[in-house]
Every structure is written in structure tokens, then in C-alpha cells.
């Protein structure tokens, strides 16, 4: 999956996720891991994106790829969002923004004419060796999940 210029592995990290589990970046059995960062549970764009990953989950799974959604929401919020949308994958809670900062997704954004600090919708593909092999920043939801699936299945 790596480009001709192989990047160094990312630093390992752990984080709390739904289902009472702990996410650990390195040592995952998957061919690749998709981490999609989104601003907030139960908002229109985040719901649409999560549903798109849900609807294509079996195809990602068949390709040996694991999917995880990440936002600053609490585990309680994530559990409700996951149940409401019937998501077949886990959501990672990052209330202290450690993962958001590590991946550089915290940005100044305009919301209703005001400057706010928030998560820039972004997706990252990490290979089985813990190397970042693809990233999408400033994601527009329509067609994005299809593009991610195409990347992981041809790599």
C-alpha cells in the first residue's frame, strides 16, 4: 500500500472507544486501518459520512480494512450515535484532543460567521506496519467514502 517513498511508522497511541474497548494504533491485524475524524456526533454532515462508512463496511472488511470514527465527543455520546445509526465499527473518543492534535486536524473555522476552533473533517489510511499511506483533509462528504474504498482496494 505504501508509495515509492515509504514513510516512517507513526507513534503508537491508545484511546478509549465504544464497546468498552481500547483502541491501539500499532499491532492491529488488519491490512489497513481507516481513521476518519469528524466534528460532532448527530450533526448532518457527520451523520451522512458515518452512514456512508456503515453502508460500505462489508466491502472494507472484505478488503481486510478496519474503520474507526474519531471526534471529541464523549464515549456516552458516541455510544448513542453508534446505536442510533447501527454502526458496525467502533468510535474513538478524543475529548482531550490528543489524537486530533497528533493528526493536525484542529483548525480555525467559520461557523455562522464566527471564528471557532474545531475538527477539520479528515480521513487517514494507515497500513499494517503503522505507516500513514494516504490522507484526505478538508473532506467534502459526497463521494468521499467511495474514494477511500477505491484507494484501499487497489493498494
Catalytic residues: 46
Half-sphere exposure of 90 (CA within 13 A, CB side): 15
Q: What is the pLDDT of residue 109?
A: 80
Domains by residue range for the chain, with CATH = 14-19+30-154 (3.40.30.10)
Q: What is the pLDDT of residue 3?
A: 43
The mean per-residue pLDDT over the stretch 33-56 comes to 97
Q: What is the pTM of this model?
A: 0.90
- In Å, how far from its chain's centre is CA 145? 11
Say if residue 6's pLDDT is above 60: no
Q: What is the pLDDT of residue 7?
A: 61
| Residue-wise DSSP of 10-39 | PPP-EEEEGGGEEEESTT--SSEEEEEE-S
Question: What's the CA gap between 141 and 96, in Å, rounded?
Answer: 25
Higher pLDDT, 80 or 13: 80
What is the residue-averaged pLDDT of the chain?
90
**Residues 99-143: tens digit of each pLDDT:** 999 999 999 887 778 888 899 999 999 998 888 999 999 999 999
pLDDT category, 73, cuts 50, 70, 90?
A: very high
**Residues 85-94: tens digit of each pLDDT:** 999 999 999 9
Neighbours of 27 (CB within 10 A): 8
User: Which residue matches cell numbers 455510544?
Assistant: 79
* Grid cell of 8 as nine digits: 516512517
Amino acid at each position: 500500500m505504501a508509495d515509492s517513498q515509504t514513510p516512517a511508522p507513526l507513534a503508537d497511541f491508545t484511546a478509549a472507544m465504544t464497546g468498552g474497548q481500547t483502541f491501539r494504533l500499532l499491532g492491529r491485524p488488519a491490512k489497513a486501518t481507516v481513521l476518519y475524524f469528524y466534528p460532532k456526533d448527530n450533526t448532518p454532515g457527520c451523520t451522512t459520512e458515518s452512514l456512508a462508512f456503515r453502508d460500505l463496511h462489508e466491502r472494507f472488511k472484505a478488503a481486510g480494512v478496519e474503520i474507526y470514527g474519531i471526534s471529541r465527543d464523549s464515549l456516552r455520546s458516541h455510544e448513542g450515535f453508534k446505536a442510533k445509526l447501527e454502526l458496525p465499527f467502533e468510535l474513538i473518543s478524543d475529548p482531550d484532543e490528543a489524537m486530533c492534535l497528533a493528526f493536525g486536524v484542529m483548525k480555525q473555522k467559520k461557523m455562522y460567521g464566527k471564528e471557532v476552533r474545531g475538527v477539520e473533517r479528515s480521513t487517514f489510511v494507515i497500513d499494517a506496519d503503522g505507516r500513514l499511506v494516504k490522507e484526505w483533509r478538508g473532506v467534502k462528504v459526497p463521494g468521499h467514502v467511495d474514494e477511500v474504498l477505491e484507494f484501499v482496494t487497489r493498494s
